[in-house]
Structure 1
Amino acid sequence: MCGSRWYPDAVSVLAPFEELIRAYLSLLDNVATFLLTFALVYAVGRFILRPLLGLLLDYRGTERTLREGLESAASFGVIAGALVIGLSLAGLNFILERAAILVAGFTVALGFAAQNVVGNLVSGVFIVTDSTFNIGDWIRWNEQEGVIEDIRFRSTRVRTFDNEVISVPNSELTANAVTNAVFNERLRLTVPVQVNFDDDLDTVVRILADAAAENPDVLERPEPVVRITELGETVEVVASLWIADPDRITYGRVRSEYAREIVDRLEEAGIDLGQANPQALEGEIGVVPKSTADDGGTGFRR
């Protein structure tokens, strides 16, 4: 009788363990199905869809900035798609449902706690999709300038001409005026010179115009223009030149070569740059005794 009583008790005790083992085995099967599905979907997206997207963007001649943004979004989409498909096929939909609630709550909290970050992300989307704002462009903003090295959804990396790298928040670029110096096919550069009033201005204008016309990097159309722009202690004459396919290196080189050329030609013509004419004082300075002073004690007599 003891044996007959022990056997039902043993079965009743082992039954929960068997159910637990079956539950773990089912979970392991689901996890294995998820991992296999995730790996397959990710491999298809990474090694088939991404290259096809790259070929399509190459065919359409998409700008590098927009291309990198689309490729980054595609990479994120491949991972997200692999997660969703893997969890669905593995029967783990409840994770997606709970994850959706968590993501919604996290998004609300993030919106309040990180408004600047969200603002930079939104600004990054506008910058990436802006065809006038591309990697490799020379830009100026807030009295700073440099060449765009990388555009991300939070910040833009700019290399200055001192070889420093600045990570500029995207919201700063979208909230301020940004000058793209190389967006168009031509760029105007100006070179001011200051001469004296008694110099031959016709000769100055001719020298500046001839030096521009003889420079192979200066365009004939639009034609170089030389004008007198200011009259102060000296006369300011400004030459305006146009160059093609501009970049920061070409701009600096052409401006420097032109400036050196006009300095040499002006010196040969006997024209000194920016030297004010000396003015003589007439009269005599001396000391006058108080008894004979009739000039208010200034000590100045003619």
Structure 2
Amino acid sequence: MALPGALELLLTRLGRFVVPAAVFVVAAFAFYFPARYVSMAVARRVTALANVDQAVELPALKVLHATIGVLAILVGASVSGVARFLAATAAITAGLTIALGFAARDVLGNVVSGVFIVLDPTFDIGDWIRWGDQEGVIEDISFRTTRVHTFDNELVAVPNSELTTNPVVNPGAKEFLRLCVTFEVDVENDLAAVTDLLIAAARDHPDVLDRPAATVRLREITETSAFLDVRFWVRSPEKIDVVRIRSEFTRTAKERFSAAGHDWPAADLSGEVGIRQVDEGEGSGPVVPDTDRRDGDDQ
């Protein structure tokens, strides 16, 4: 006979929770959708008329979107009475605030970093950037991450804090960009003739500038090889395929180098010779280096 009373108590407590929750959801969505539709349309119209840069427009629209969401939650909480409940339980609210603060520490750091990236005039959507051992073109800057499209056709989401705490190179920020290609040639070659050949190959490329002129620097020399750095300049690096220019120049230089009769460094054919005795009927197996044999031993 106690079951109906317990069930009634359960339904009563459940009703105290379900009704405010339903009111919260209805009120929040009733505010969110109209406010989002009107405010976003107005914001897009204003940014278009003001000719706002895309790197500023997209984050600003996302901030507006998030603000509408927060306001919708506040409206729902106020209408449903959830706000009064939270005010009555200040200790619980304070505990939740501290817990959320610790949990969102990294997220807030990325958000602040995203603001600095947006305000930095050296970064813009469509820019080619290089950080660490990666590089690509910025596609979007959001609250937490910056999306970069790499030259391997990969989309990388980079935390904003990583871009603000580490060196980032923007090769296309200036009008001109200097490229450097290193060649290893045989040390017995006439280095002056090789230098003239490489400079001519760079000068003949249509995308390489005449001024500043291409130069060749001897970077390192060993017993068998000489390392030459060919440096030349290109214009508007954000609009041209730097990889293509480097590849075309390298191929042209190699063809002219071989046609002129110059020598490449001799290949280093060093390694171990393995000896293995195979008994009759035994299948093939891995070759094991004979570590007991020394140079000069009788074969």
Query: Does 108-117 or 200-209 show the bigger shift?
Result: 108-117
Q: Which amino acid aligns with 1:241?
A: F
Quote the Cα distance in structure 1 between the aligned partners of 2:79 and 2:153. 52
Query: Does 214-223 or 267-276 show the bigger shift?
Result: 267-276
Q: Which amino acid aligns with 1:69?
A: P
Aligned to 1:140: 130
Counterparts in 2 of 1:269 and 1:33: CA distance versus 1, 3 Å: closer
Q: Structure 2: which 5+ residue stretches go unaligned?
A: 1-22, 269-294
Quote the Cα distance in structure 1 between the aligned partners of 2:264 and 2:210. 27
2:269 corresponds to 1:275: no
Decide which structure has the larger Cα Rg and report it.
1
- 1:230 aligned counterpart, secondary structure: strand
2:234 corresponds to 1:243: yes
Aligned to 1:252: 243
What is the total number of aligned residue pairs between the two structures? 244
Quote the Cα distance in structure 2 between the aligned partners of 1:165 and 1:95. 41
What does 1:64-103 correspond to in 2, within 5 Å? 64-78=54-68
Quote the Cα distance in structure 1 between the aligned partners of 2:26 and 2:106. 41
Q: Of the candidates 110, 113, 116, which is equivalent to residue 106 of structure 2?
A: 116
What does 1:3-14 correspond to in 2, within 5 Å? none
Q: Of the candidates 39, 43, 46, which is equivalent to residue 40 of structure 2?
A: 46
2:175 corresponds to 1:182: no
Quote the Cα distance in structure 1 between the aligned partners of 2:31 and 2:68. 13
Q: Per-residue CA shift, 1:11-69, capped at 9, x if unaligned?
A: xxxxxxxxxxxxxxxxx9xx99998777665554233x213322244x25x2x222211
Aligned to 2:158: 168
Q: Per-residue CA shift, 1:70-126, capped at 9, x if unaligned?
A: 121233345556787x78xxx959777878989887544322223222222222222
Q: Structure 1: which 5+ residue stretches go unaligned?
A: 1-27, 278-297
Alpha-carbon contact 2:136-2:150 (below 8 Å) kept: yes
TM-score by length of 1: 0.67
Aligned to 1:214: 204
Instruction: State the superposition RMSD in angstroms.
Output: 3.6
Quote the Cα distance in structure 1 between the aligned partners of 2:235 and 2:194. 26
Q: Which amino acid aligns with 1:208?
A: L
Q: Of the candidates 25, 48, 53, which is equivalent to residue 55 of structure 1?
A: 48
Q: Of the candidates 198, 203, 212, which is equivalent to residue 193 of structure 2?
A: 203
2:126 corresponds to 1:126: no
Query: Does 218-227 or 254-263 show the bigger shift?
Result: 218-227
Quote the Cα distance in structure 2 between the aligned partners of 1:119 and 1:103. 23
Counterparts in 2 of 1:222 and 1:96: CA distance versus 1, 3 Å: farther
Greater fraction of residues in helix = 1
Quote the Cα distance in structure 1 between the aligned partners of 2:65 and 2:99. 26
- Using the aligned pairs only, state the percent identity: 40
- 2:241 aligned counterpart, secondary structure: helix
2:217 corresponds to 1:223: no
Quote the Cα distance in structure 1 between the aligned partners of 2:250 and 2:62. 45
Counterparts in 2 of 1:83 and 1:116: CA distance versus 1, 3 Å: closer
Q: Per-residue CA shift, 1:274-294, capped at 9, x if unaligned?
A: 3379xxxxxxxxxxxxxxxxx
Alpha-carbon contact 1:159-1:165 (below 8 Å) kept: yes
Alpha-carbon contact 1:190-1:238 (below 8 Å) kept: yes
Quote how far apart the aligned CAs of 1:260 are: 0.7
- 1:221 aligned counterpart, secondary structure: coil
